[in-house]
Amino acid sequence: MNLLRYHLRKLFLILKNEVFVLPSRIVVLLFFLTVLLLPLLYDDPYMMRILILASIFAIFAASWDLLSGFTGQINFGHALFFGVGAYGTAILNLRAGFPPWASIPAGALVAVLAGLLVGLPCLRLRGTYLALTTLAFPIILMGFVFSVPELTGGELGLSGLSRLARSRIANYYIVVITMLVLVTVMWKITDSHMGIIFHAIREDELAVKAAGINTTKYKLIAFSLSGFFAGLAGGLYAHFMRIAGPSTLEISMSFQVVIWSVFGGMVTIWGPVGAVFILFPLLEFFRIWPELRQLMFAIVVMIVLLYMPGGLLPWLRSKIENECPRCKIRNIATRKVCRVCAADLH
């Protein structure tokens, strides 16, 4: 009883002192609560479908940010990892009879392999060279997919994968909880020692090398990690849609993930995730003007970038929170003095 009371008290204190002091943290808490509780209040299969897909793409977008945002290795062919994950999962599920809980991680491991295969030749490439070269990989793989239709199903793809779960609501919780866990893990990775090295590689690779750090190793780690998470997203997608087809490798898929991430704000992990949860339903919402749908989407992206070139969410955050000039702790914008060091904020 005492123990329970102790933990409750601790939880309350954390909420009060760590979460409720910053609006952005409240938003994150609300986001967790909303996606977890929404289907209990309103179990509409269409809404759940949209949120499931948004969750899958959120993992995908965050994995791009992990590689391209943090280490600066702009990957224009991220669909490769997604597609390899999807196809790998589908082949293991259909041919080898793996159940989803095994086929998805195994498919993601195949995507890691793909990450290494892409990462190795790309190690020496910089900036735009890298971006435009990576664009080529999914297209080459697409050629492969079409040349071995016995294995990949050609333009039909591989269909008839087993379901994640029987009911929509179970599917929902599997995907959403996976998403919350994976995104948190990715965020933790970027917050760790490794994340700092990733940051540093983006800022000045030479300096990192000079500091005696093997940047090659870290870059390959970034490629593999990113491939792993994107592969998981691809595997989830394949099992949810019950089909893995060439559309997972299309350029539009690669572009889509870049749009989400940059729109939401790179080098944050939460930015791309938020962007997917805004843009994916937004595209659905635009169904009320079916002819103008894609156009409206493109215009929204362009206008937001015009005013917030650093991304929508960091811009919003900067409006409601300030950083203390002395101790670098974030404060709500309404505060006059810092909540930790009491320095003047204006």
Partner 1 sequence: MLIDILITSLINGSTYALLAIGFSLIFGVARIVNIAHTAFYMVAAYCIYFTTYRLGFNPLSAMITGIVFVSILGLIVYKIFIAPIREHEQAVLIGTIALAIALQEIMMLIFTGDYLSVPALIKGYATILGVKVFYQQLITFASVLVVLGLMRLFLMHTKLGLAIRATAQDREVANLMGMNESRVAMMAVVISVGLAGATGAIIVPLTTVEPFMWSHPLIMMMAVVVLGGMGSIKGSFYAAFILGFAEAMVVFLIPSGAFLKGAVALSIMILVLVVRPTGLFGVQFEEEG
Partner 2 sequence: MKKVRLLLVAGLVGMLALTIGVPAWGADTIKIGVIGPMQFVQGKGHWNGAIMAEEEINAKGGVKVGKKMMKIELVKADSNEFLNVTDATNAMELLMTRDKVDFVVGGFRTEAVLAMQDIAMEYQKIFIGCGAAHPELCTRVAQDYDTYKYFFRGTPFNSAFLVRTSFLHLKFVGDILKKELGLEKVKVAVVAEKAMWADPMVAATEGFLPKIGMESVGVWRPSPVATDVTAELSAIQRAGAQMIFTIFSSSVGIPFARQGGELKIPAVQVGINVEGQKDGFWEATQGMGEYILTMNTYCRGVEYNELTAPFVETYYKRFGETPTYTADTYSAIKAIVATIEETGSLDADELVKAMEVSERKVASGIVKYMKDEQGRHLHDLTWGPGYLTSLAIQWIDGKPVGVWPNKWVAAPGAPEITYKGIQDYKIPPWVIQAYKK
3-state secondary structure of 18: helix
Q: Which is nearer to partner 2, 40 or 42 (CB)?
A: 42
Contact flag: residue 198 with partner 1 (CB under 8 A): no
Among 30, 33, 140, 333, binds partner 1 (CB under 8 A): 140
Q: Which is nearer to partner 1, 219 or 239 (CB)?
A: 219
Tell me how many residues contact partner 1 (CB under 8 A): 42
CA distance 260 to 268: 12
CA distance 74 to 254: 11
Which parts of 6-65 interact with partner 1 (CB under 8 A)?
none
Within 13 Å and on the Cβ side, how many CA atoms surround 335? 21
Give the contact letters, 104-123, x = binds to partner 1 (CB under 8 A), - = no: -----------------x--
Contact flag: residue 266 with partner 1 (CB under 8 A): yes
Give the contact letters, 232-261, x = binds to partner 2 (CB under 8 A), - = no: ---------xxx-xxx----x---------
Among 1, 4, 210, 291, binds partner 2 (CB under 8 A): 291
CA distance 113 to 111: 5
3-state secondary structure of 319: helix
Least separation, in Å, of the C-beta of 298 and partner 1? 4
CA distance 189 to 185: 6
Contacts 24+ apart (CB under 8 A), 148-151: 151/91
Q: Which is nearer to partner 2, 247 or 339 (CB)?
A: 247
Helices (H), 96-203: 100-122, 127-134, 136-147, 149-152, 168-191, 193-203
Contact flag: residue 230 with partner 1 (CB under 8 A): no
CA distance 260 to 240: 21
Under the rule (CB under 8 A), what is the footprint of partner 2?
A: 42, 44-47, 49-50, 53, 146, 149, 153-157, 159-160, 241-243, 245-247, 252, 281-285, 287-288, 290-291, 293, 300, 303-304, 307
Q: Which residues here bind partner 1, judged by CB under 8 A?
A: 74, 121, 124-129, 131-133, 135-137, 139-140, 142-144, 146-147, 204, 251, 255, 258-259, 262-263, 266, 291-292, 294-295, 297-299, 301-302, 305-306, 309-310
